[in-house]
Amino acid sequence: MTESSSEHADKRASGLKLAITGKGGVGKTTLAGLLARLYAQEGYRVLAIDADPDANLASAVGFAPAEAARIAPISGMADLIEERTGARPGSQAPIFRLNPRVDDIPDRFSAVHEGVKLLVMGTVKKGGSGCVCPENVLLRQLVSHLLLGRQEVVILDMEAGIEHLGRATAQAVDALIVVVEPGRRSLQTAEQIRTLAADIHIPRVFVVGSKVQGAEDEAFVREGLPDTEVLGFVSLNPEIAEADRRGVSPFDLAPRSVAEARSIRDRLMLALDGTSGTLAAGSQ
């Protein structure tokens, strides 16, 4: 561990739960990949969860394309889902287990790269609030276990919503990070997410501005979301686009962005330390 990380090596860091959300294309997966690699480099156990149906966290973490292609999404594992819930996905089983065993899944079905364990959730069927299908039950139980039962830095890369987080598990999220770009539509999405987060009582919501090109863009983000703490900014960086094109992690190709992610991380840890007591106790 480096000197600076030991400052953060408190009880919480061993069980830190971060959820990253925001409008499509803003840079969520890029930030998730950078943070996952950063915490892993500093010696933390990191579990990165790809919970976006449009799954591409593997490449942002740095898995080679062939390796990434071999990581199977949990939602597609029909046998596992049947074994655990008692019902096959898509079947009309009248009864199945609502609390299937999931604690062995993260270690059995994750792949590891540079100290980051990656789990790919796959698509959760929406189908209205009444959709209780075996695959959704398994995924929901899995997210709940990941947030409540793991002593790791867990980083959830989500789509533009927080559907994966039920009321019960939302409380376990130490920080919901909403990524925005300096544009009005992405700020609107951020506002909607903030409202949803308040509804399910997620305690800590933060903003990260992405693809910014200077002070004007930064001011636009801060002024557009005056009630939410801005943790920092990831500048528009051609090296990130280049990393994406080459199928490598921005962590390995974009040092300036890594430095920005480090400062975002520092600000986050400071903000969470400031809350003391309850959150830290919860992650022991």
Ligand X SMILES: Nc1ncnc2c1ncn2[C@@H]1O[C@H](COP(=O)(O)OP(=O)(O)O)[C@@H](O)[C@H]1O
Interface residues with ligand X (CB under 6 A)?
Answer: 22, 24-30, 210-211, 234, 236-237, 240-241, 244
Min dist. Cβ of residue 165 to ligand X (A): 17
Q: Which residue's Cβ lies closest to Mg ion?
A: 29
Cβ contacts of 79 within 8 Å, gap of 6 or more = none
**Interaction partner, residue 270 (Mg ion, ligand X, none; CB < 5-8 Å by kind):** none
Q: 141 or 210, CB closer to Mg ion?
A: 210
- What's the order of all strands across the beta sheet hosting 111-113? 111-113, 116-120, 46-51, 153-158, 17-21, 175-180, 205-212, 229-235
Q: What are phi and psi of 91, to 5 degrees?
A: -80, 165
Tell me how far apart the terminal alpha carbons of the chain are, to the nearest angstrom: 20
Q: What angle is formed at CA 98 by the lines to CA 96 and CA 99, rounded to 5 degrees? A: 125
**Interaction partner, residue 58 (ligand X, Mg ion, none; CB < 5-8 Å by kind):** none
Min dist. Cβ of residue 38 to ligand X (A): 15
**Interaction partner, residue 134 (Mg ion, ligand X, none; CB < 5-8 Å by kind):** none
Q: 197 or 240, CB closer to ligand X?
A: 240
Min dist. Cβ of residue 62 to ligand X (A): 13
Kindly state whether residue 29 participates in binding Mg ion, applying the rule CB under 5 A. Answer: yes
Q: 10 or 244, CB closer to ligand X?
A: 244
SS3 of 175, please? strand
Binding mask 49-78 for Mg ion (x = CB under 5 A): ---x--------------------------
Helix H segments across 19-160? 28-41, 57-61, 65-70, 78-85, 105-109, 134-149
**Please, are residues 205 and 176 in contact by the beta-carbon 8 Å criterion?**
yes
